[in-house]
């Protein structure tokens, strides 16, 4: 919403008309849209989500949504998307989303559509930008959760496991773990070893700390084994849905650390509510920058945030390769510096 507002307000000030496409690429393929004026975007800065709706399955190049397509027989309806774009008399398309959305946006651009991308995902896993819109808000929720489970952990002498989202990148778990003082942080980028997690909990116990907080990313996996898949969503751009690894961690601690373990899976709570002040600020900057790129006809680019400034990069540099946590990153060394374990004694940062 905050990006939609930023783009719309700055476009209207330039005297342009703005059309909102409903449910992302579904609306582009099916011709579902609405005009956006100043009153439509008033008051939405503080509202999470999108007034336009969204879809994680509507791919113009492999359309699986009924009635035009089906998961069994997806169809290439990109020509329809182009036809609707022309029919509406549009001069530019601003696509707001993560790797899947921006990959499709780049495909449309390569076929001639004037497209600008805006990086929006709580996973913070896009290349070519230091941060994506939505990440800070999810981080705030995850950090608050870590803060809150301390109460029960300390009072009941328990191991509390907080599971965050993030897909194949551990940014939310890493930063919430750092900000919330997590004792053990488990990331997809650093495969864990059961013995090392147990050792970390027991070591704390020896030092008189009768509880431990584990922050685990949904994509965390054991050194020998895969990620925990909750379900597969047929027809989705990335059909795999992760979730539930924390139950596996709880199981392997059971009877080994002399403490009870409890699990909290945050799920979509991280994607809801009001965006943080940083995210509202970032989204407004992204939106205004996107309109600026349109005015300069700099298409095929994604707005980005680099070294505390708004910039832009070619869409092709932003998609296809996820930005994940490096096990040798400064942040990993920072966490180890305050005694945090990554459940893998081989990692030193
Ligand atoms: O990519 C954003 C994200 O929230 C991931 O962190 C999570 O794995 C996934 O989407 C959940 O998808 P869905 O809302 O379809 O369950």
Q: What is the pLDDT of residue 212?
A: 98
Q: What is the pLDDT of residue 237?
A: 82
Cβ burial of 200 (10 Å; 0-12, 13-18, 19+) is buried
CA of 120 to the centre of ligand 1 (A): 12
Range 29-35 average pLDDT: 98
Average pLDDT, rounded, for the chain: 97
The minimum-distance atom of ligand 1 relative to the CA of 236 is: 15
pLDDT per position as a tens digit, 218-236 = 999 999 999 999 999 988 8
pLDDT per position as a tens digit, 148-187 = 999 999 999 999 999 999 999 999 999 999 999 999 999 9
pLDDT per position as a tens digit, 204-220 = 999 999 999 999 999 99
The answer, yes or no, to whether residue 302 has pLDDT greater than 80, is yes
Please work out whether the CB of residue 122 comes within 6 Å of at least one atom of ligand 1: yes
* Active centre residues (catalytic): 123
Q: Say which residues have a Cβ less than 8 Å from residue 185's Cβ, sequence separation at least 6.
A: 170, 173, 174, 177, 178, 214, 215, 216, 335, 340, 341, 342, 343
- Cα-Cα-Cα-Cα dihedral sign, residues 295, 301, 302, 303: negative
pLDDT per position as a tens digit, 37-74 = 999 999 999 999 999 999 989 999 999 999 999 988 99
The minimum-distance atom of ligand 1 relative to the CA of 56 is: 15
Q: What is the pLDDT of residue 238?
A: 86
The answer, yes or no, to whether residue 349 has pLDDT greater than 80, is no
pLDDT band at residue 348 using 50, 70 and 90 as cut-offs: confident
**Ligand 1 pocket check: which of 124, 165, 187, 234 to mutate, most ligand atoms within 8 Å of Cβ?**
165
Please work out whether the CB of residue 121 comes within 6 Å of at least one atom of ligand 1: yes
Q: Which two tokens stand for residue 112?
A: 């001639």
- Cα-Cα-Cα-Cα dihedral sign, residues 325, 330, 331, 332: positive
Q: Confirm if 216 and 245 have CB atoms less than 8 A apart.
A: yes
Beta bridge mates, 293? none
């Amino acid at each position: 919403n905050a990006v939609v507002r930023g783009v719309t307000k700055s476009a209207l000030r330039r005297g342009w008309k703005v059309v909102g496409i409903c449910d992302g690429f579904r609306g582009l393929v099916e011709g579902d849209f609405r005009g956006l004026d100043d009153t439509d975007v008033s008051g939405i800065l503080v509202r999470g989500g999108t007034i336009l709706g969204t879809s994680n399955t509507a791919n113009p190049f492999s359309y699986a949504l009924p009635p035009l397509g089906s998961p069994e027989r997806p169809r290439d309806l990109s020509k329809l998307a182009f036809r609707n774009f022309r029919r509406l008399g549009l001069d530019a398309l601003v696509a707001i989303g993560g790797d899947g959305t921006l990959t499709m946006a780049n495909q449309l651009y390569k076929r001639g559509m004037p497209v600008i991308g805006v990086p929006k995902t709580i996973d913070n896993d896009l290349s070519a930008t230091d941060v994506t819109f939505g990440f800070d808000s999810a981080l705030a929720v995850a950090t608050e959760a870590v803060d809150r489970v301390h109460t029960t952990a300390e009072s009941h002498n328990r191991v509390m496991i907080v599971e965050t989202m993030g897909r194949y990148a551990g940014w939310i778990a890493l930063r919430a773990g750092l900000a919330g003082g997590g004792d053990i942080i488990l990331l997809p980028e650093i495969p864990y070893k059961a013995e090392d997690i147990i050792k970390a909990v027991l070591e704390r116990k020896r030092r008189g700390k009768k509880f431990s907080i584990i922050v685990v990313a949904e994509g965390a996996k054991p050194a020998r084994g895969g990620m925990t898949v909750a379900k597969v969503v047929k027809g989705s751009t990335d059909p795999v849905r992760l979730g539930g690894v924390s139950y596996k961690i709880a199981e392997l601690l059971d009877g080994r650390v002399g403490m009870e373990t409890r699990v909290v899976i945050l799920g979509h709570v991280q994607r809801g509510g009001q965006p943080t002040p940083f995210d509202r600020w970032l989204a407004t900057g992204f939106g205004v920058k996107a309109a600026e790129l349109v005015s300069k006809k700099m298409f095929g680019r994604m707005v980005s945030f680099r070294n505390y400034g708004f910039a832009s990069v070619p869409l092709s540099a932003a998609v296809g390769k996820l930005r994940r946590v490096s096990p040798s990153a400064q942040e990993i060394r920072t966490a180890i510096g305050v005694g945090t374990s990554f459940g893998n004694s081989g990692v030193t940062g």
